[in-house]
Structure formats: structure tokens, C-alpha cells
Amino acid sequence: MTKAEKVEFVLSKLEELYPEVPIPLDHKDPYTLLIAVLLSAQCTDARVNKVTPSLFTVADNPYDMARLSVADIADIIRPCGLTPMKSKGIHRLSEIIIEEHNGQVPQSFTALEALPAVGHKTASVVMSQAFGFPAFPVDTHIHRMLYRWGLSNGKSVEQTEKDAKRLFPKELWNKLHLQIIYYAREYSPARGWNLYNDVITATIGRKSVIREASKNPSPVKNRRSGA
């Protein structure tokens, strides 16, 4: 297959499997999404979704959050890990949103990435999922998949993002990055992965990846098909 044919296969298969892709992190507006994405750093979405109800019950907007102490925030978010950095970041970014943005989450990469504890990936998620701006947030799942599929060299998430934006149509980015995440979690995880389930990698994958995966011949039955 040519690279263009690989891209078409990926798009077709993902649309078949995931025609609808709900945002994995529970939120109700741009601010709660920003906080949830920040908490998801080195933490699972499932754990974040267990923690945020307690946090958002006491503070679901920058004004209430800024009135909490850093210690109060830390006590609630501790299960998400990286507690000192995240609690200080959440408190200070809430103050900045009030002081510099009239209490509203800014709608630009530059302003978002200037907030404490907010990196490019977090800003990309907020821009795409809260504001509908074309972006391609690259997390560990997308980084892994584009390498396994031979669509990026895997050297850095920055390079993976550049390759994804170059290969996939811009109008599909916001939905596609979620489709890839869902696929990676269900069919192509980092651990416990079996090529038998992973039809995209098995069809278009990097030869070295397929060769390594084939060393484990025992099939794992597909959860979706029930086969």
C-alpha cells in the first residue's frame, strides 16, 4: 500500500468502528474540560472522571476555584498524581483566567499555553473539543498508533503531530484524534497487545512491528465481534 492508501484504510476502518466519539473526560464547559485535561496528565481518564465530581461540586468555575487554597485542591485531586504541580497550576490558572480573561477560558493556543501547568497537548484538546478549532492533540495512544502504522517515525510527539496534520484532512482532525484513541485502547494497547485483534496494524503496520508482534501467536478473541 502507498501511504495515501494506508491513510484511506485507517479513515475508513475508524469511521466504521467509531462513527460517534464522545469526549472521554466528563465536563460541562471549557473551564471544566481544561481542568479535567490538566488532571489527566499521567493519569487515566477513568480515574479523572472519578475525581472531578468531588472537585467540581465545590468549584466548577475559576472564581470558586481561586477561593480554595492550594492545599484544598490538592486534597481532592491527590488520586490523579503529580499533586503539587497540578494543584498549584489549577489554582494559579484560575486566578489568571479571572485577572486577564474576564473569567473565560481563552480561545487561543498562545493564551492557553501561557497558563500554568498547561502544555501544547492540553491546549490542543481544549481548542479542539471545547471550541471546535482544528487541532490534533497527540497523546501516548496516538503516538503509539502512528508509529505502529508506519505513518510517523515515533521519535517525538512533536513529529507525530506534524505527520498527522500533514497526512490527514484538516476537517477530520477533531474527530479523528478521538477515534484513534478509542481504537488504541480497545484493539492496540501498549500492554497485553495481540496482533490478532488489531486489524489496522495487521493490514498496514510497520514490518518490524508486525514481525515482533507475530512472536506471540496465541489469538485473543475480538471483544466487539464476539468471535
| Catalytic residue numbers, as ranges | 121, 139
Q: How far apart are CA 52 and CA 135, in angstroms?
A: 25
Q: How far apart are CA 140 and CA 68, in angstroms?
A: 32
CB 126 within 8 A of CB 37: yes
What are the residues whose beta carbons fall under 8 Å from the beta carbon of 20, sequence distance 6 or more? Answer: none
CB 169 within 8 A of CB 21: no
Find how far residue 129's CA is from the centre of its chain.
10
CB 145 within 8 A of CB 182: no
